[in-house]
Amino acid sequence: MSVDIATVKRVAHLARIAVTEEEAQSFQGEINAILGFAEQLNEVDVEGVEPLTSVVAQTMKKRADVVTDGFYADRVVANAPVSDDDFFVVPKVVE
């Protein structure tokens, strides 16, 4: 399988990365090289094989559903590029 330029642009939009025409072309070649490399995976018989979900056989740890952390909104927003009164500020989303 290989990707065309339109697919590269669509995927870039899905990933929310603006790309120039030139970049899209460069990515197209590189992505196709990697997908070409991955073609060999089709040689493998995976009939009846379960996909690996965890390399370690252990049941996921659980903890009590209680608050263990928090109450410091100022620290949470401390690294935000724009914040106001402990809120993250973004461009207007709803008219």
Partner 1 sequence: MSSTDLTSLTIAEIRDGLTAKAFSATELTQAYLASMEAARALNAYIVETPEQALSMAAASDAKLAKGEARALEGVPIGVKDLFATEGVHTQAASHILDKFKPNYESTVTANLWNDGAVMLGKLNMDEFAMGSSNETSFYGPVVNPWRKEGSNAPLVPGGSSGGSAAAVAARLCAGATATDTGGSIRQPAAFTGTVGIKPTYGRCSRWGTVAFASSLDQAGPIARTVRDAAILLKSMASVDAKDTTSVDVPVGDYEGAIGQSVKGLRIGIPREYRLDGMSAEIEALWQQGIAWLKEAGAEIVDISLPHTKYALPAYYIVAPAEASSNLARYDGVRYGLRVPGEDIASMYENTRSAGFGHEVKRRILIGTYVLSAGYYDAYYVRAQKIRTLIKRDFDLAFEAGVDAVLTPATPSAAFGLAEMTTASPVEMYLNDIFTVTVNMAGLPGLAVPAGLDKSKLPLGLQLIGRPFEEETLFRLGQVIEDAAGTFTPSKWW
Query: Running DSSP on this structure, what letter comes out for residue 91?
Result: S
Site for partner 1, residues 44 to 73, rule: CB under 8 A: 44, 46, 49-56, 58, 60-61, 63
Alpha carbon dihedral 15, 18, 19, 21, in 10-degree steps, equals 120
Phi, psi of 24 (to 5 degrees): -60, -40
- Closest CB 73 distance from partner 1, rounded Å: 12
Q: Rule CB under 8 A: is residue 82 a binding residue for partner 1?
A: yes
Q: Can you read off the two tokens belonging to residue 33?
A: 């090289």
- CB atoms under 10 Å from CB of 8, counted, come to 21
- Told to check if 5 binds partner 1 by CB under 8 A, we report no
What residue ranges bind partner 1 (CB under 8 A)? 1, 3, 7-8, 11-19, 23, 26-27, 30-31, 33-35, 37-42, 44, 46, 49-56, 58, 60-61, 63, 75, 77-82, 88, 90-93
